Amino acid sequence: MTKFHVELKRVVDNSYSIEIGRSLFNTLIKDLKNGLIKGVEKYALITDSNVKEKYGNKLLNDLKLNGFTCSMFSFPAGEKSKNRDIKAQIEDQLLEQSFGRDSCIIALGGGAVSDLAGFIASTFCRGIEYINYSTTLLSAADASVGGKTAVNTPVATNLIGTFYQPKKVYIDLDTWFTLPIREFRSGLAETIKHACISDHQFFEYLEKHLDKLIISDQLILDPKTCEYIALKNCQIKYEVVERDEKETNLRQVLNLGHTCGRAIEALSNYELLHGEAIATGLLFQSNVSKKLNLITEDEHNRIKELLTRTGFKLEVPNYISNLELLQKMYTDKKVRNGKIRFVLLERIGKVKQFEDGWFSTYVDEQIILETINEMR
């Protein structure tokens, strides 16, 4: 028998910058001219059908006017399009237009765009550079830090994907002013989640300043408040990802509200927006935390009040049965040994770390079903 040892130890620096500002197309173009990415001959601008009309055509034209070789690829807007078929279609289009390893992807849009485009970048020609240009609060809060890329399947959301970091992220606050109110509200769910998991002062800030962002069905979008919540979202998520990039344990805390929320989102056939489902999931997991005597009823009520003021309905839709919802939770990636595990709160601003060292724990089905019933 002959053996040969392949040693591939290496140190990888996946650091990148996030720029928060207004009307950042010129900043992006300046960065590209100054060598943000080396050795690129062609740029693939990937976006969805909504963003294409609002911003895609302008950015494509600006890039071409500045001497860059660029083509745009779009797909139907919505979470339903974040799937393997659409990924393959865009990859085929890239190949047909002779894109190769000397290419770079620019993901222009919200969370679905960054998830899909980032996944394509991570596998196309075994990995090419990409840039995230965020046009929604949801993508600024959830997709700008961490490098998670993925597509949905009929079984569950985001189970097929990679960890792949962008070269740079741009968060353009001006684009928030063109968002439908449902889309902006959806991003606030992830923002409230971040406050719940690690920053009590930020939670209090949201309680005091929510009216500077949204009142009933009216967007207010105070500029300083928008910039602050964009920055805090990035900082909070970075503090987690920096310590656990590949979600071996700590990064599970970012899934607060997602075990139930993602299940509701999928069972709604994505008629509910991600943040709308996650808001219900947040209240669900806060309720479970209260049942297990981890947080007080007062803290639970504060979370409920903030979510309610934001405009979320916070209920399990009647068309989803208890059994359907329970079964869908078993597709969550935190499931271990056939048991559903939840991230739970110890208090507002702190997630519970359990005796085994994990930041998620098994919850009995009876408690899950009781909590579902209470949210009808």
What does the pLDDT average to over 131-142? 95
- Residue 126 — very low, low, confident or very high, per pLDDT cuts 50/70/90? very high
Please tell me the predicted confidence (pLDDT) of residue 327: 97
**One domain for residues 52 and 201:** no
- In 142-161, which positions are buried (b, 16+ CB within 10 angstroms) versus exposed (e)? bbbbbbbbbbbeeebbbebb
Final residue before a domain boundary, out of 123, 155, 178? 178
- Residue 12 — very low, low, confident or very high, per pLDDT cuts 50/70/90? confident
**One domain for residues 85 and 132:** yes
- Higher pLDDT among residues 5 and 25, named by residue: 25
Phi, psi values for residue 77, rounded to 5°: -65, 145
Given a contact cutoff of 8 angstroms between Cβ atoms, the answer to whether 238 and 208 are in contact is: no
Please report, for the domain that includes residue 222, its CATH number: 1.20.1090.10
Domain span at residue 327 reads 181-374
**One domain for residues 216 and 158:** no
pLDDT greater than 80 at residue 10:
no
Please tell me the predicted confidence (pLDDT) of residue 60: 98
**One domain for residues 102 and 126:** yes
**One domain for residues 227 and 193:** yes
- Residue 118 — very low, low, confident or very high, per pLDDT cuts 50/70/90? very high
* 3 state DSSP class of 172: strand
Given a contact cutoff of 8 angstroms between Cβ atoms, the answer to whether 18 and 144 are in contact is: yes
Please tell me the predicted confidence (pLDDT) of residue 203: 98
**One domain for residues 97 and 169:** yes
Q: What is the sign, positive or negative, of the torsion defined by CA atoms of 254, 257, 260, 265? A: negative
- Residue 277 — very low, low, confident or very high, per pLDDT cuts 50/70/90? very high
Task: Write the pLDDT tens digit of every residue in 163-215.
Answer: 999 999 999 999 999 999 999 999 999 999 999 999 999 999 999 999 999 99
Please tell me the predicted confidence (pLDDT) of residue 202: 98
Please tell me the predicted confidence (pLDDT) of residue 143: 81
Q: What is the mean pLDDT of the chain?
A: 96
**One domain for residues 216 and 75:** no
pLDDT greater than 90 at residue 144:
no
Final residue before a domain boundary, out of 178, 207, 238? 178
**One domain for residues 159 and 185:** no
- Residue 156 — very low, low, confident or very high, per pLDDT cuts 50/70/90? confident
Task: Write the pLDDT tens digit of every residue in 228-262.
Answer: 999 999 999 999 999 999 889 999 999 999 999 99
Rounded CA gap, 182 and 167, in Å?
30
Chain Cα centroid distance, residue 148? 8
pLDDT greater than 90 at residue 121:
yes
Q: Please indicate, yes or no, if residue 295 is contained in any of the structural domains.
A: yes
Indicate the number of domains in the chain.
2
Please report, for the domain that includes residue 120, its CATH number: 3.40.50.1970
Q: Please indicate, yes or no, if residue 12 is contained in any of the structural domains.
A: no
Rounded CA gap, 77 and 81, in Å?
7
Final residue before a domain boundary, out of 178, 209, 228? 178
Percentage with pLDDT > 90 across the chain:
92
